[in-house]
Structure formats: structure tokens, C-alpha cells
Homo-oligomer: A and B are copies of this chain.
């Protein structure tokens, strides 16, 4: 037994949560960091929502089934997973839209500064949404992008707000949220944390680190389903001050008075925009039940053991792959990435053999580790199959070379 396997065996056993997911026969799913698998309860809950609520209650479901309160009710359940204060997270829209809302709010709170600081490890949509907002504002804001390791030094008194994804989507590199937030506040900057690869992956303590804004998606580690809605957090000290750029009717103080002018609702309510996506929220709400059975601390311990084991196994078996993730478990999220020039084709060959990870341009083979349903046996089996793909050059077949739009 290797050292990391021994460590792993001392962790919490997640056999009880693994049983709560549908995992297809013959598949080892290491892509829950992109799309979580189906919780078995979700389609049952969806039937209830569709047949008993939508079908039977019709329009009265907005009150009777609690649909109207769903975005904040479900938001509170996510708040517990990311260390947010109760009543300060709301669900809706996509992560891109939530980035836009947070960024517009932060710039308004810090009107004398023009720099939005991000890093080259941020997910592109965050950068794209910032570009769009800067163009709309037309006030000469600058999106300044530095290397991940330069972020701390780049937080200067010029910076209005930092827009940082805590866990790098390609390498899994983990930023120090506490240190960067402190640095930002010390120089009068605000912070937006994108938790896309953090929520459900590792403990986050938004209130504890004094974060200003956070956003994230729910279809990765939170298993809400393809295209599940996003969330936004606004710190209590800002929540009643921000004037929403996307001032939709459900963020109005009295949406059903149908007033002619916008008046923001109380606190986080003003970050609501349009009609909530009830069906998607239903699947998500069901998926979140599973989190009541564990703690983020237990998840993190197991996740670190699983990623350490995978690195050890793959480095032993596949010397042609180069580790792209931090070797120190404390400095990476819940994924492991390797670089390989023919990474796209190798990942296709691997998927064809039942091990599902994904590829991120230009050369990253990415594997997500999700203790809720991935265990040590999966990790060693996946590494063995990867070894077979690499040593037999299985990836060197024409059918794996053609890039499709999504991997």
C-alpha cells in the first residue's frame, strides 16, 4: 500500500453518498468538476415539481409551492457550503450574468478607481463579461490581467476590484483567498471571488475572510444538472448599498405593484433579475440534500487524498505526462491536470475506454476528484487505463484527432 493510499484509508468513508448518484456501468467519472452526475433523487423530485406543482397548482405554484422564494431558499443552502452569512446568497441566471452584476456593483462602490485586476488563470467568460461592462460604462476602466503568481503584488491602490477565480480551471492552482482579500482591503480595493471550482470542492469561508462579492455555478461539484443556475453573494455591509445594473422586476422592492420606476429590493433580493428557473432550481435543490450528509472538511480531506493518489499513480505509470497542478495538496483544488502535446486525442481515447475527464486547450488533460462518488478504487483503475492508453499510443488513431466543439 502506498503512502497516499494509506492516508486515504484513514478518511471518511463516502460509500453512503456514492449510492445516491447514477454512475453509468463501466464508467469512471472524473469530470464532475465540469458537470456533476445525476443524483438519483433529482428526476423523482423533478416529477413532483412538474406533475404535482406545475401540473396541479398551475400559476398558484408561485405561492403554494414556494417557487417565488426558491432563489433565496436554495441560496441559503449554498451559503452554508461557502461560509456565507444566511440570507446573503441568491440563485439565478448564469455565472456570466452574476459576474456582470458583481463587477458593476463593485465598480460603483469604488468609483474613483479604474482598474479591474484579474489573472491569466481566470475562466475566459469572467474576462469577457468584464470587457463588455467596461465598454458599456465608457469610463476608461482597464482590465489588467497578470500571471496568477503576480496577483498579490499587482493589488495596488489603482485597483478598484479584483476578479479572481479561486481555483484555476486548467491547473487547479488555488489562490489564497484570505491573503488576497486582506491585501485588497489594505489598499482600498474590493474583491469578487469566482467559486466555480470551489463550491462543493473545498471549504470556503466568505464571511471569515471578509470577502466582498462571490459568484459561482452549481452544475459542477454541486451536481445541479446541465446549465443549472448560478449564485451570487454580496457581503452584508454592501448588500443594501449596491444599485443593480441589471435592474429586473424580481429585484424590485415590490415586484407585484408594477411601479413604473425601479426601486431595489432589500439586500440580496436586488440581485434577482427575471423570473426564477423553477424546474432547474428543483433539480438543484434535490442535489443539495446530499450535502447535509457530510462536511466540507471531510470532503477536503478525502479530496486531497484522492488527488495525491492519482498524481502518484500517474507519475509512476505515465512518465510522458507532465503534472500541471501544484504538487502541494494545500495549494490545489479538487482536480489534477497533466500536460501532453496530444492531450485532446489522448483524452478522447481515454473516454472511449470509460474514463471520463476533459481537455482544455492547448494541452491540458484535466481530471476532477469528487469524494461524494469517487473513491480510491476508481482512482487506481483510472490510472491503469490511462497507462494503457499512453503506453500503447492508443491516442494516435485518426478517430481521436478531430476536435469537436465541446469535450
A: which residues have CB within 8 A of B? 22, 24, 27, 29, 31, 34-35, 37-38, 42-43, 46-47, 50-51, 54-56, 58-63, 67-68, 93-97, 100, 104, 120, 123-125, 127-129, 131-133, 135-139, 145, 217, 219, 225-230, 243-250, 252, 255-262, 273-281, 283, 351, 356, 358, 360-361, 404-407
Which residues of chain B have C-beta atoms less than 8 A from A228's C-beta?
A: 277, 279
Which residues of chain B have C-beta atoms less than 8 A from A61's C-beta?
A: 35, 226
What is the distance, in angstroms, from A126's C-beta to the closest C-beta of chain B? 9
Q: Is the CB of A94 within 8 A of B258?
A: no
- A258 and B361 contact, Cβ closer than 8 Å, known pairs A24-B56, A93-B274, A277-B277: yes
Cross-interface CB contact of A125 among B43, B60, B93, B274, cutoff 8 Å = B274
> Which residue of the partner chain B has the closest CB to A125?
B249
- A31 and B58 contact, Cβ closer than 8 Å, known pairs A93-B97, A273-B96: yes
Q: Is the CB of B138 within 8 A of A137?
A: yes
Cross-interface CB contact of A278 among B60, B225, B245, cutoff 8 Å = B225
Which residues of chain B have C-beta atoms less than 8 A from A60's C-beta?
A: 351, 356
Q: With the chains together, A227 CA to B96 CA distance in Å?
A: 18
A-B pairs, top 5 by smallest CB distance, nearest first, are A94-B274, A125-B249, A132-B247, A226-B278, A96-B248
Cross-interface CB contact of A246 among B132, B249, B262, cutoff 8 Å = B132
> Which residue of the partner chain B has the closest CB to A49?
B226
**What are 9 contact pairs spanning A and B, CB under 8 A?**
A43-B55, A63-B404, A63-B405, A67-B227, A93-B93, A124-B249, A128-B262, A219-B275, A257-B361
What is the distance, in angstroms, from A274's C-beta to the closest C-beta of chain B? 3
By secondary structure, the A interface counts as: mixed
Which residues of chain B have C-beta atoms less than 8 A from A138's C-beta?
A: 137-139
Q: Is the CB of A406 within 8 A of B128?
A: no
Q: With the chains together, A31 CA to B60 CA distance in Å?
A: 10
Which residues of chain B have C-beta atoms less than 8 A from A34's C-beta?
A: 59
Q: With the chains together, A55 CA to B42 CA distance in Å?
A: 10
Which residues of chain B have C-beta atoms less than 8 A from A35's C-beta?
A: 54, 58-59, 61-62
- A245 and B54 contact, Cβ closer than 8 Å, known pairs A259-B124, A405-B68: no
Which residues of chain B have C-beta atoms less than 8 A from A51's C-beta?
A: 22, 38, 43
Cross-interface CB contact of A135 among B124, B243, B259, cutoff 8 Å = B243
Which residues of chain B have C-beta atoms less than 8 A from A42's C-beta?
A: 50
> Which residue of the partner chain B has the closest CB to A274?
B94
What is the distance, in angstroms, from A172's C-beta to the closest C-beta of chain B? 15
> Which residue of the partner chain B has the closest CB to A364?
B258
Q: Is the CB of A54 within 8 A of B68?
A: no
What is the distance, in angstroms, from A347's C-beta to the closest C-beta of chain B? 11
Which residues of chain B have C-beta atoms less than 8 A from A406's C-beta?
A: 62-63, 68, 256
Cross-interface CB contact of A50 among B67, B123, B273, B283, cutoff 8 Å = B283
Which residues of chain B have C-beta atoms less than 8 A from A63's C-beta?
A: 404-406
Which residues of chain B have C-beta atoms less than 8 A from A24's C-beta?
A: 55-56, 58
What is the distance, in angstroms, from A275's C-beta to the closest C-beta of chain B? 5
Which residues of chain B have C-beta atoms less than 8 A from A31's C-beta?
A: 58-59
- A96 and B283 contact, Cβ closer than 8 Å, known pairs A58-B24, A68-B405: no
What is the distance, in angstroms, from A403's C-beta to the closest C-beta of chain B? 8
What is the distance, in angstroms, from A109's C-beta to the closest C-beta of chain B? 14
Q: With the chains together, A405 CA to B59 CA distance in Å?
A: 13
Q: With the chains together, A146 CA to B259 CA distance in Å?
A: 15
Q: Is the CB of A279 within 8 A of B274?
A: no
Q: With the chains together, A43 CA to B56 CA distance in Å?
A: 13
- A225 and B54 contact, Cβ closer than 8 Å, known pairs A132-B247, A219-B275, A275-B219: yes
Cross-interface CB contact of A361 among B100, B252, B256, cutoff 8 Å = B256
Q: Is the CB of A227 within 8 A of B278?
A: yes
Which residues of chain B have C-beta atoms less than 8 A from A226's C-beta?
A: 54, 61-62, 67, 275-276, 278-279
